Amino acid sequence: MIRIENISKSNSSRILYIETSAALNRGEKIGLVGPNGAGKTTLFRMITGQELPDEGQVTVEKHVTIGYFNQDVGEMSGVSAVTEVMDGAGPVSSVAAELRSLEAAMVDPDRMDEMDAIIDRYGEVQARYEELDGYGLESRAREVLAGLSFSEEMMDGDVGKLSGGWKMRVALARILLMRPDVMLLDEPSNHLDLESLIWLEEFLKNYDGALLMTSHDREFMNRIVNKIIEIDAGSLNTYAGDYGFYEQQRAQNEKQQLAQFERQQAMLAKEIKFIERFKARASHAAQVQSRVKKLDKIERVEPPRRRQTVAFEFQQAPRSGEDVANLKGVHKAYGSRVIYDGLDFMIRRKERWCIMGINGAGKSTLLKLIAGSAAPDVGSVAIGASVKMGYFAQHAMDVLDGEQTVFEWLESEFPRAGQGALRTLAGCFGFSGDDVEKRCRVLSGGEKARLVMAAMLFDPPNFLVLDEPTNHLDLDTKEMLIKALADYDGTMLFVSHDRHFLAELSNRVLEVTADGVHRFDGGYTEYVERTGYEAPGLAS
């Protein structure tokens, strides 16, 4: 359906692709992977014709429809969310718009002399609308929005009043409702809660078109894709299988390539040693010449390219007391909406609690109560002896000084730390090379979040309170963070919609539901086995 043939592409001074090829065939579901800045979004834009390759070509079969979702959702306002979604549903949406225009014309007294023509046209358009199942369009749009966790009130309200994250969901719903022949989805799993993520997973598994997507959620990708295209140093490398298989295969390929390289290097060293030893002896001239010619003809094996992944290790956190946090009889409400009604909750040293609950259940509120950024209406929150807390939430980014560079801000936070240690820290969280010279005011939301987390983990607290810590982290950085936190010796309380993160790091689960708060010993994996569902909103 889509062929990428011998393309080369540069972006300002950076080479993204060098004479490389790939294909997207009917029914394939492909994950596109590669480090940040490798050219994933550029590839999407070349497929949609928004950019052209410098050399080579990208061809799309005739009559193939493409739906492209990216993080730039554009302006939305003045219509309901459900209307905005329906307006993106391909040919049926333009027919629906004409139908609405003709309905308005039929009640316009100034157009009475055109009424016969308007009615005739209305009949034609209505027949076409029925043919396209237009009358089922609204119910399908509502079904998609409900799957993405919209309430009826949000569906019918002005889309312009929604937050950026909810507008992203509206833009995604437009593409899903359109059901094109090919979907290009650039980070569709961003801004979704766990229930929406699992619903989207099922939708895409049952979608019969072709799919090319990026995602920083390995579990989400593993459950959907049957092929991986990797962008690596200007090449597009194709692997059959899911993301887990790709990781194993890439590691195996690198191991084999390294072994080949080392064998060849040993052979070359032996030949060169012979040449050096006998080149001055006339009796060995023929043999020396033969070996020189042989070396000239040998095709050199390249060593495997090493990905720049830096392991991050915690400094030892000071030990806290056994009781880390204790909530007694906590009541919390926002207006008439009661979040907690008499909550008792104790966190002890080395426990790793993940908080589960649907949107609005009170997960972030619980973190705020424990971190002290919100107070209970009734009841008490006590933090234990020798507890040093690190709280990561979106507003934590307000601590950055916009005029300082990344490196200057880290130096101001840790004046006694060496430059090498701070550069290593910055590199772990995606700030390598010239990136450390960026001013904080020009950083994206994701970069700001990574920088704040880097600073928090450099001087580790013994109690980490984390609200969606993996948002905006790419797969490699997320894996680095999981490995670092797995070795962390302190206590954790966190909210995340990343199932890999939940499964790897939790040893307790607190489920917040309308029926009350439920505690589960064992981590997220045991919680899923015990309850039979992956998120509270999916409970039957």
How confident is the model over 144-158, as pLDDT tens digits? Answer: 999 999 999 999 999
Question: Which amino acid would we find at residue 40?
Answer: K
User: Distance (Å, rounded) from C-alpha 161 to C-alpha 163?
Assistant: 7
Residue 392 burial by Cβ neighbours in a 10 Å radius (0-12, 13-18, 19+): buried
pLDDT of 506 above 80: yes
Over range 525-533, report the average pLDDT: 95
Confidence of residue 308 (pLDDT cuts 50, 70, 90): low
Q: Are 142 and 134 in contact (CB under 8 A)?
A: no
pLDDT of 366 above 90: yes
Across all residues in the chain, what is the average pLDDT?
89
Confidence of residue 309 (pLDDT cuts 50, 70, 90): low
Look up the pTM and report it: 0.81
pLDDT digits (tens, 9 = 90+) for 80-111: 899 899 887 767 777 888 888 899 999 998 89
Question: Which amino acid would we find at residue 410?
Answer: L
Over the range 455-491, which residues count as b (16 or more CB within 10 Å of their CB) and which as e?
Answer: bbbbebbbbbbbbbbbbbbbbbbbbbbbebbeebebb
Output the pLDDT for position 296. Answer: 84
Q: How do beta strands 182-186 and 337-348 pair?
A: unpaired
Percent of the chain clearing pLDDT 70 (strictly above): 98
Output the pLDDT for position 297. Answer: 84
pLDDT digits (tens, 9 = 90+) for 410-445: 999 999 888 888 888 888 887 888 889 999 988 877
Over range 29-57, report the average pLDDT: 92
User: Distance (Å, rounded) from C-alpha 344 to C-alpha 340?
Assistant: 10
DSSP lists the bridge partners of residue 9 as: 17
User: Distance (Å, rounded) from C-alpha 320 to C-alpha 230?
Assistant: 44
User: Distance (Å, rounded) from C-alpha 409 to C-alpha 435?
Assistant: 13
Over range 511-519, report the average pLDDT: 91
pLDDT digits (tens, 9 = 90+) for 245-287: 998 888 888 888 888 888 988 888 888 888 888 887 877 788 8
User: Distance (Å, rounded) from C-alpha 185 to C-alpha 355?
Assistant: 29
Q: How do beta strands 29-33 and 210-214 pair?
A: parallel
Q: Are 339 and 364 in contact (CB under 8 A)?
A: no
Confidence of residue 215 (pLDDT cuts 50, 70, 90): very high
Over the range 351-390, which residues count as b (16 or more CB within 10 Å of their CB) and which as e?
Answer: ebbbbbbbeebbbbbbbbbbbeebebeebebebbeebebb
Over range 70-80, report the average pLDDT: 83
Strand order in the sheet with 491-495: 389-392, 463-467, 491-495, 352-356, 508-513, 516-521
Cα–Cα nearest to 494, from 527, 458, 464, 526: 464
Output the pLDDT for position 50. Answer: 93
Six-digit token string for 118? 């308007």
Supply φ then ψ for residue 27, to 5 degrees: 80, -5
User: Distance (Å, rounded) from C-alpha 192 to C-alpha 118?
Assistant: 44
Output the pLDDT for position 90. Answer: 67
Confidence of residue 211 (pLDDT cuts 50, 70, 90): very high
Task: Classify the phi-psi angles of 419: left when phi > 0, otherwise alpha if psi is within -120 to 50, otherwise beta.
Answer: alpha
Confidence of residue 196 (pLDDT cuts 50, 70, 90): very high
Percent of the chain clearing pLDDT 90 (strictly above): 53
Question: Which amino acid would we find at residue 132?
Answer: L
Cα–Cα nearest to 451, from 404, 501, 505, 416: 404
Least confident range of 125-134, 178-187, 372-381: 125-134
Output the pLDDT for position 253. Answer: 85
Six-digit token string for 334? 């926002």
DSSP lists the bridge partners of residue 29 as: 211
Least confident range of 51-60, 209-218, 278-287, 411-420: 278-287
Least confident range of 122-136, 196-210, 305-319, 385-399: 305-319
